[in-house]
Each structure stands twice: as structure tokens, then as C-alpha cells.
Structure 1
Amino acid sequence: MPHDIIIVGGGPIGIACALEAQKHGMSYLILEKGPIVNSLFNYPINMQFFSSSEKLEVGSVPFISKEAKPKRDEALEYYRRIVTSNDLNIHLFEEVAHVQKKATLFQVKTSKAAYQAKNIIVATGFYDIPNSMNVPGEELAKVTHYYKDPHFYAKQKVAVIGASNSSVDAALECYRKGADVTMIIRGSGIGERVKYWVKPDIENRIKEGSIKAFYNAEVVEITPNSISFKIGDTLHSLENDYVLALTGYKPNFEFLKNIGIELSADEKLYPVYNEDTMESNVENLYLAGVICGGMDTHLWFIENSRIHADLIIQDILKKI
């Protein structure tokens, strides 16, 4: 029998959708290509959320943390316990390859099996595809678009590309573990959305010279032993061991287009959906979470997209 709902993505919002579906006695299946809350699992080990714990809660389940703003390990524990204690129907390490609507049912093919569903919820987030710098040497092993543990970079010359929360966290942590850190920043300063309790720290470290920073700079080439960048017409080159290219991430737009979702014609690539129901231009196919923001990945996050679960399930219930 087809499921009432298949949820693509087992992150916090996908879990919230499953809880809401389960509450109303609907048959559902979460398909997650990695472990539970795969994106959070791949966050830096010491990452601390901007939001306080109660704003990360889903399904009215309390989130108790040691500090007001929880860290990655506490979030993993919280969402894992929700999945296990509610015995959510979730298939892990099973990637969705294709979704196609035939008549009134969606045909879903994964890396392991095939399924049918009356409704689809896409809650895939945006952390899987890094924004490329498109420069020579970006493919070198010394370059990574993901940052995990600062210990690895101790006593190394590290270039951090960007001035967002992830870049600032990486620069500070690597510096404090003994790395020689240089930030290469396209803009004129540290990002305005950097966590307010971290921003003074990075600015003071730059001011005192503990962390070097180059502003209005654009990377032009990476070699095994150096990194080159331009400021205006002036070319700079630094000795370098590792590059943390924390240039942001984007949703899988090809997946969205392949399943029939229309995107805006501008560079933002906003997917088309009804803000009152979260239903896309494809009937009975819904969007939830950060995926709704297109390239503006800062518009939606756990705190303000938890409501998507209720909007979606209520709309599905009205159609039954």
C-alpha cells in the first residue's frame, strides 16, 4: 500500500513533519541519506547554535541544555531521542534518487528500494552542495568546504575563506589550537549576521594581530604550498598548508527541478510554493524548512520553520 506521506530528509524539520503525521494517524516514511539529522552531524564538533534550546524544539518535546544556547552534541542527543522514543518510521543511509508523479501517486526510487506515496514533503536543507570559488587549485586535497575539528590544523598555516559564522568559528578555534590563521574576506568586514557574542572576539583578535585578515579580497589561485588573492589590482601570495573554503552552501536545485518544482527566474532561485499550505506548484508535493529560501539560505532555519509541519499536515488532512 502507498504511504500517506514520504518525507525526503531526516533533519529537524523532517522529524517535525513525521511527528505531526504520526499524531494524526497517517502512514509516513522518512528517507534520510545519512544518519539521523545528517546535516547537524556534519556541523563542526564544537558548534554552538544561535538559537536558544526552546526555539529548536519540535513536536512540543522539551529541549534541555546545559547552556541557553545548546551545542552540536546536545542537539544530536535531543533529535536522536525524539526519533527513538517515538519509534519514528525512518530509513537511514537511503538516498532518494528520483521522484515522479504518475496519476495520483508519487513513485519514489532510492538507493535501496522503491516506494509509493500520496504526498511528498521535501525537507532536504542546503548543506550538501558547497558554493564553489571556481579557482585553479580548488580541487586540491588541502582545500575543504567543511570544517570539523581544529586539532587537525595545529601548527599549520591555515587560510579561512569568508566572514560568516562558520568562518569566524573556524578561525577562532584553529587559532586557539595553535594554527597560524589568515582570513580572506570578499567584503569590507566581518559578517553582520555573525553571532553577537562571537563578533567582538574575532574583531579583537584581528585588531591585535593574532589572526590576520584581508578585506575586499578575492582568491585567484591555490597551489600545494600557497594561496594567491587580489585586493583591487594588487596580487598577494601567502605560504599555506590548508584552505578552509567556508563559502556557504546551496540546496540541490537539480533535484527540485527534476521532480517538477518551478524556481524563480532570478539568481535567488526561490522555489514556488503556497505560503499558507507549503504546497509547491506540483499538487500534493510540499516544501519544508530551509529549502524554501532558495539561495537565501539564511531566511529559514529550525526556529522559524517548525511551523511548516503543522501547515502541511493540516492541508493534507483537509484533502482526505
Structure 2
Amino acid sequence: MKDVIIIGGGPIGIACALECKKRNWNYVVIEKGALTNSLFNYPKNMTFFSTSEKLEIDSIPFISKNPKPNRDEALEYYRRVATSNQININLFEQVGAISKNNIGFEIRTNKGEHTTKKLILATGFYDIPNLLDVPGEDLPKVTHYYKEAHPYAMQDIVVVGASNSSVDAALEIYRKGGNVTMIIRGEGIGERVKYWVRPDIINRIEEGSITAYFNSEIIEITENEVVFESPDGIKKIPNDFVVALTGYKPNFDLLNQLGVSQSDDEKRLPTYNTETMETNIEGVYLAGVICGGMETHKWFIENSRIHAKQIATHIETALAE
């Protein structure tokens, strides 16, 4: 039996592992994909909003050649932190069933079974997209993830959303020769869009380089068109690809299996102690973005890396009893 199992091998999961290692606990990280799988799936040219210092974990320096690091630099940094510190991590292991017993927790995965006294959920939110729930969303031309612009050159592209990811995708595709239309449910470009990018997208829309329909929603996707409702009524436009960057959500299934309670409103905020990060289920802790439920913009690396020390401090007391 492990002292601690951490589900999720992102930056916060790695930070939790470092705290376990310092205390010589018998622990393991279980990650369903590659190391820092969410960061790996970010767009290739993505630049972080935060500086490198704010992305550091365990006071290990993150040296970047840019004022704000990019995806590749972050992947290199967290990989080196994990390998240099010989973090015990099982990659490409998918958690299926998870339950509490009288001595701890049982976890079944696609590769075997584990038992542990304490459990940390650091699963992030990037793996489960918020769906449009419209006819045609399952067509091959629709994606909820954006990697790079090249495949969309000389094509009619609809980008859904007005967040950082949507704006970055729209600008990159436009500059690689794609004909970009943005369909946006709100009245304008999101206020949280990176301050050095927001004027760029607004100017491209105003000059007509990128078409934007505000207060609009897609109602159907076909092989050759996108049908949407706008303030001027139902519209149809030619379309080759839809990049629906409508946000993502945490893995609520794991919370539900364990009995972690959540708020009844649309935010679905999980219950936990803000000092110890322990949930209403004794021995289950939350770390990172999962703490925000559907409010995925509230937690990120720089303000949740402290969770690792909070959790370890509480577990240290519990294991000593």
C-alpha cells in the first residue's frame, strides 16, 4: 500500500510528488497521458500569460529566453524537474474505478490495481471539452483542440469562442492564409484575453481581415456549411473546418465516485478545506485547477502551486497519528 497516490502528472501533480519525496513517503503519480499531458496538448506556438518565475515549482529556477515562456520551454522545464528529481510516475495509465475502503482507497486502472492511505486529485481540466451539443459536432472536420495553423491554410474556418485560445487560433490561422470567421456567444472579445493580443484581434476584426459574429451561436454543422443564429437571424456560411474552443471541464466522474460533494449551481464547486485542501471525504485532497469546478479560469499554476505544501503538511500530521 502507498502512503500517497497523486492522480495527474501536470505541474501541480509534480509539485505534490516533490513534497512526498522530501518526506520519504511511498508514493506514485498516475497520469493518463504523457508527462504534463495538458501542456503537451497546448498549441505549439502558445505563450504563457505568466512569467517563468511564477511557473516555477518547489523554488527550482525556470530560465526562459523570453519575457514570457512558451509551451516548449515549459515542457522542457517540467520534464527536467521530474527526471532530475527521479519522480515516481506511471505515464499512460488511465484511472477507471476508484473507491474508499476501511483503510484507504482502491484504484483500478488499465494497467493494474493500487491501494493508498491518502489520495490527491490534481487532474486539471483540459481533457474534457465543453461540447456545443449541436447536430454535426461529431463530424471529422470539428475539433475542440487547436495545435497549429498550417492545416487550415486556404480553407474556410470557423473559430468558436472569444477566449485566449480562440483568439490565438483565429490570429494564427488568419496569418497562415485561412479565411477565418469567429462565432462568439458574448458581446465582444473576452476581457481576460492577453493584453498584448487583445488589440491585435480587435483591429483585425475592425479592418475586416477576420469576420466576427457576436451574440451568435451555432445551431448546426454540415459537411460544407455552418448554420448559426445571429442578431440578424439564421445565417449559413461556407465551411471546411470548425475549431470549437469553448472551454473544458474537470473530471467530475472521479469526484463523484469518491463522494466529493459539489455546489448545486452551474459552477459545481467541490467542497474542500482551503487551509488543508482536504475534501469532505477524509484522506482525499484537491490540488490545482480542479478546485474551481467549472470556474476553470480561477486557478492556474502560479496561484495553485502552494497547494502541494498545504496538502503535504496536513498529510504529515495525519500519517504520524
Q: TM-score band (shorter)?
A: over 0.9
Matched, 1:280 2:308: no
1:204 corresponds to which residue? 203
Q: Percent identity?
A: 62
Matching residue of 2:162 = 163
**More displaced 10-residue stretch of structure 1: 168-177 or 94-103:** 94-103
* Structure 1 match to 2:153: 154
- 1:280-320 CA-to-partner distances (Å, cap 9, x unmatched) read 01101100000000000001100100000000000011111
Q: Which residue of 2 aligns with 1:193?
A: 192
Task: Give the letter for the 2:199 counterpart.
Answer: P
SS in structure 2 opposite 1:10? Answer: coil
Quote the offset at 1:99 in angstroms: 1.6
2:102 aligns to what?
103
Asked if the contact 1:98/1:259 (under 8 Å) is kept, the reply is no
The secondary structure found in structure 2 opposite 1:244 is strand
Q: Which residue of 2 aligns with 1:305?
A: 304
Q: What secondary structure, in the 3-state scheme, does the structure 2 residue paired with 1:29 have?
A: strand
> What is the rounded CA distance, in whole Å, between the counterparts of 1:37 and 1:137 in structure 2?
31
Q: Which amino acid aligns with 1:193?
A: R
Report Cα offsets for 1:92-114 as digits up to 9, x if no partner.
00011122111122111111011
1:68 maps to amino acid = P
**Residues 1:271 and 2:270 aligned together:** yes
Is 1:123 matched up with 2:122?
yes
Structure 1 gap segments, 5+ residues each: none
Q: Which residue of 1 aligns with 2:215?
A: 216
Matching residue of 1:73: 72
Contact 2:104–2:283, Cα closer than 8 Å, also in 1:
no
Alpha-carbon offset, residue 233 of structure 1? 5.8
In the aligned structure 1, how far is the partner of 2:301 from the partner of 2:200? 26
- Post-superposition Cα deviations, 1:103-159, rounded to whole Å, max 9, x if no partner, equal 122111111011111100000000111111111111111110000010010000000
Q: Which amino acid aligns with 1:197?
A: W
How many Å separate the matches in 2 of 1:233 and 1:250? 32
The one-letter amino acid paired with 1:45 is K
**Residue 228 of structure 1, CA deviation:** 1.0
- In structure 2, the CA distance between the partners of 1:233 and 1:205, relative to structure 1 (3 Å rule), is closer
Report the CA distance between 1:27 and its aligned residue: 1.5
Aligned to 2:309, the other structure's residue is in SS state: helix
120-129 or 99-108, which deviates more: 99-108
2:93 partner amino acid: E
Specify the code of the residue in structure 2 equivalent to 1:212: T
Matches within 5 A, 1:1-320: 2-232=1-231, 234-319=233-318, 320=320
- Whole-Å Cα distance in 2 between the matches of residues 118 and 136 of structure 1? 45
* Structure 1 segments of 4+ aligned residues over 4 angstroms from their partners: none
Matched residues in 2 for 1:240 and 1:308: separation? 44
CA contact (8 A) 1:3 1:118 kept: yes
Aligned-residue CA RMSD in angstroms?
A: 0.8
Task: Give unpaired runs (5+ residues) of structure 2.
Answer: none
Structure-2 separation of matches of 1:64 and 1:198: 24
Q: How far apart, in 2, do the equivalents of 1:228 and 1:106 lie?
A: 48
Question: TM-score, normalized by length of structure 1?
Answer: 0.98
The CA deviation at 1:232 is 3.1
Measure the CA separation in 2 of the matches of 1:244 and 1:4. Answer: 43
In 1: Cα distance, 2:67 partner to 2:95 partner: 36
